[in-house]
Amino acid sequence: MASQGDKITYFLVGGFVGAAIALLFAPRTGQETRNLIETKYREGSDKLGQKALDGKQYLGEKGEWVAGKAREGTDVIARKKETITKAVEAGKKAYEKGKEQLAKEVSEEEA
C-alpha cells in the first residue's frame, strides 16, 4: 500500500506527464510550446519544492512530538522503577523486622 507521500508523488508525476502530452499535441508553434513547457516545468518545480519543504516541516514536527512522548515515557518508567525499588526495600525491612521479632519471641519462650 502506498504511503501518503508516495500518492502525492505519483499524482504530481502523472500531472507532469499528462501536461507534457497535452502540450505536444496542442496546435502551437514550436517556440510557444517550448515556452509553455518551460513555464509549466518551473511551476511544477516550485510546487514540488514547496511540497518537499512542507513535508520536511511536517516530519520535523512529528519527530519532535515523538521525541517528547519518548521522554515522557522514560520519565514514567523512571518513576515506576523508583516506586518498585522503594517497595522492595520496604519489603526487605519488614522481612528483617519480622525475622528479628520471631527470633526474639523464640528466645523468650526458650528462656
Q: What is the pLDDT of residues 19-62, one digit of tens each?
A: 777 767 767 777 887 888 888 889 888 888 898 898 889 988 99
Which are the contacts of 37, defined by CB distance < 8 A and separation ≥ 6? 20, 23
For residue 25, what is the DSSP state? T
Mean pLDDT of the chain: 85
Task: Flag whether pLDDT at 1 surpasses 80.
Answer: no
Looking at residue 2, what is its pLDDT? 64
Section 79-101 average pLDDT: 91
pTM for this model (two decimals): 0.43
